[in-house]
Structure 1
Amino acid sequence: MQIWRHGDRTPALNFSLNPDDIASWAEGPAGELTKLGILQQFRLGEYLRNRYQDFLPNHYSSNLIYVRSTDYNRTIMSALANLAGLFQPSAEEQWNENLPWQPIPVHSVPKNMDYVLNMDADCPLAKKAQENIWQSAENKTGLEFLTLNDMVRVFDPINCAVSRKIHSDHHVIPDWVTEEIFEKIHTLFNISTTFWMSTPEVKKFRGSKLSNFGNCRSNESKIIWNGKTLEILCIFCCTEHDLTLIAFLNHLEVYSKSMFPAYCSIILVELLEKDGQYFVQLFYKNGSTDLEPLELNFCKSPCPLFDFAQKFSGIYISDWKDACKLEN
């Protein structure tokens, strides 16, 4: 299973009174994937092809790969760009000699119904649990001008400019955003996102994709699980957002500020088989950094599949409509 963040994008939020701050991004309106983001994802796809060249088939097959995206332009486009690098057509598959690309389906569901990947899916109980965190007596500070919950609006446009500054001089970072100031803003943003996922209720509703681990299907590999035969895909891809990767890492109990997902960060969940036994090992690649193993504090890597699944069995939600108390 591969879980990656979309590529470079324009700011999705803005704290300034000047709307031109976002309008000045020529690549498109708020939150859209940029040309740089497309290139980043294409290269990530090439990286994944190189890593799994002895595992993945040379030819695309719908039986062996399933790609799921949140219903946002930037994530769907990121998936398409990634797949263009991951599955470049062979001579037999090429349908246009001037276009070395083949279409691969990317699946999605409406935002408000995407309880697996979208952190903002319609779920009244989850929303109430989040409100309780911010409104609880021990967290009322009396500050009226800015709260931790507002930090995403401050961090997002500045982070976009800082990220772009690394690659070009097209977007100038405001003079007041010194390295020290940005570090403080980043720290507050990380406190906000970590705090937002601090209760079991929120974790269950807003980051429980781990509970769906192993639900992929295929025609080749099979696992006997609780007396049932499960068929496993070669590769299951999810294209998502920074907060969903943070939620995933929080569930694994490994997240720290230094792991904040840069554009095109990716989590790899690999299923291994040895002597008829199945194991899970995990890796994390934060943007352009090297791939690093994720060391779990509850299980030594590679972790037996049974132990891994048992750890997260309590957050499995089989009926989201009932769990969220949705009327329709």
Structure 2
Amino acid sequence: MTMSSSVGVWVLVCAISSHLSVAQDLVAVTVLYRHGHRSILDPYPTDPYRNESFWPVPFGELTNIGKNQHYALGKWLRQRYTSFLSRKYMAKEIHIRSSNYDRCLMSAASNLAGLYPPEGDQIWNQALNWQPIPIHSRPKAMDGMLALEKPCPEYQRLQKEQLNSNYHQKIIAANSKLYVYLSEKTGMKIKDFIGANDIYDTLLVENQSNYTLPEWTQSVFPEKLRQQAVIRFEFDTHTPQLAKFGVGQVFDRILTQFDSRVKNLTFPKFQMLSAHDTNVFNVLNSLGIPNLEMVPYTGMVIFELRRNSYGKYYVDFLYKKSDRAELLTIKGCETDCDYDRFKAILKPLSSIWREGMLKAYK
């Protein structure tokens, strides 16, 4: 891990089970999760499954498996926050923001179906155990928080500079034979870990979808390509400067929500961010989580702002990648991280866009 040790994080040896009730001192919550299972994004030229007819949905779209995964996650959230969120949907309590990709929007809708099954006067159709709940988004080209496609010359400059650094050039040189092999077998020009990650993603989804992979993949999949994928994902927040662009707006949004709740300003106490593995990985990597693996479908980070009996505010940070949410400890803090200390740790990673954030959720 290359981030400054001042923002390092160690995993606390404990886990919070999905049925554990939440204490009444909870003040605000932000959850950020990856979408559910999808079809492949972009097949390589020699891919035997490159024809879209092999897939139940168009490339990059959420499958029925993915819908069920997020419906289950919504029920998990309902169980965990049953004493915090009203059982009936209350617009002032929760705000949902999604990356403007179908798979993320559909994941959010599936998740909300599990979180807010209609009750009482919110049952609007007796034959349908579902209710419409607003999901907010922005055009991809205007989204620098979740889709991360808003043009930013400075971020692109920093990425190019980092790609040409000794650290990453050594990685590229050490794996040159792998890139040549992949280029020969896939019909694509693979020149670095970025291209290798694209191949890994395609093979991983095909393998998860029970397709037989070509024989040539046996020598590189999964482990060699998985290593390339981890390098690729780590790249986006490899330095604090890169992290400011890769995850800074997410941290800004969390701090704005938490500050607003502490000051009793109008802001939803629960915010949900429906996004990608990149976003979840960026949060974990920028906070220095060791031994990172790829973020699974529905992988989720949770930030909880709490208040103790003395009126002091603190933050709990969790990562859910299975049926259990793992409690993490930020270096320099106790398990219940003092809120002022939490803000000081996040400040170097906060982006330049925080002004006006109070209006951004509307």
Scaled by the length of structure 1, the TM-score of the pair is 0.86
Q: CA deviation at 1:233?
A: 2.3
Distance in 2 between the 1:147 and 1:99 partners? 49
Counterpart Cα distance in 2 of 1:262 and 1:9: 12
In structure 2, the partner of 1:202 is 242
After superposition, the C-alpha distances for 1:273-297 in whole angstroms (9 at most, x for unaligned) are 11211111011111x3422111222
In 2, Cα distance between the equivalents of 1:3 and 1:270?
Answer: 12
Sort the Cα spacing of 1:294 and 1:263 in 2 relative to 1 into closer, same or farther, 3 A: same
- Partner SS, residue 58 of structure 2: coil
Whether the 8 Å CA contact 1:67–1:237 is kept in 2: the answer is yes
Which residue does the alignment assign to 1:247?
A: 282
Q: Mean alpha-carbon deviation: is it higher for 247-256 or for 276-285?
A: 247-256
For residues 221 and 316 of structure 2, what CA distance do their matches in structure 1 show?
37
Tell me whether 1:280 sits opposite 2:315 in the alignment: yes
5 Å matches for 1:282-297? 282-286=317-321, 288-297=322-331
3-state SS in 2 of match to 1:247? helix
* Cα displacement (A) at 1:129: 0.8
2:200 maps to 1:160:
no
* SS state at 1:216 partner: helix
**What is the match of residue 52 of structure 2?**
23
Other-structure match for 1:193: 233
User: Any stretches of 5+ residues in structure 1 without a counterpart?
Assistant: 166-170, 322-328
Report the aligned-residue RMSD.
2.4
Equivalent residues of 1:211, 1:316 under 8 A apart: yes
Q: 1:7 to 1:22 in 2, by over 3 A?
A: farther
User: SS of 2:329's equivalent?
Assistant: coil
Find the counterpart in structure 1 of residue 261 from structure 2.
222
1:298 to partner: Cα distance = 3.0
Match of 1:111 among 121, 130, 140: 140
Give matches, 1:1-328, under 5 Å.
Answer: 1-18=30-47, 20-21=49-50, 23-137=52-166, 139-140=168-169, 141=172, 143=176, 145=180, 146-165=191-210, 171-178=211-218, 181-208=221-248, 209-216=250-257, 222-224=261-263, 230-258=265-293, 260-274=294-308, 275-286=310-321, 288-319=322-353
Indicate the SS of the match to 1:45: helix
Question: What is the identity, as a one-letter code, of the residue corresponding to 1:99?
Answer: L
2:202 alignment partner AA? P
- Which amino acid in 2 is paired with 1:154? I
Secondary structure in 2 aligned to 1:96?
Answer: coil
> Which string of whole-angstrom CA distances, capped at 9 and with x for unpartnered residues, describes residues 216-243 of structure 1?
389xx8313xxxx544423100001011
1:24-53 CA distance string (max 9 Å, x none): 443222111111111111111011111111
Which of 196-205 and 78-87 deviates more? 196-205
Structure 2: distance between partners of 1:267 and 1:137 = 32
Contact 1:33–1:78 at 8 Å: present in 2 too?
yes
> For 2:35 and 2:46, how far apart are their aligned partners in 1?
27
1:214/1:319 CA distance change after superposition, 3 Å: closer
Question: In the TM superposition, what is the alpha-carbon distance from 1:211 to its structure 2 partner?
Answer: 2.8
AA of the residue aligned to 1:204 = K
Distance 1:137 1:269, change over 3 A: closer
Q: Return closer, same or farther for 1:4/1:173 CA change in 2, 3 Å cut-off.
A: same
TM-score by length of 2: 0.78
Letter of the aligned partner of 2:194 in structure 1? N
Counterpart AA for 2:253: N
Letter in 2 for 1:27: P
Shift of residue 253, structure 1, vs aligned partner: 1.3
The question of whether the paired residues in 2 share the 8 Å contact of 1:38 and 1:81 is answered with yes
Query: Which has the bigger relative contact order, CA under 8 A and spacing at least 6?
Result: 2
Instruction: Name the CA shift for 1:67/1:25 in 2 (closer, same or farther; >3 Å).
Output: farther
Q: Is 2:236–2:282's contact at 8 Å kept on the other side of the alignment?
A: no
Cα distance in 1, alignment partners of residues 218 and 115 from structure 2: 38
The count of aligned residue pairs is 308
Distance in 1 between the 2:331 and 2:166 partners?
A: 32
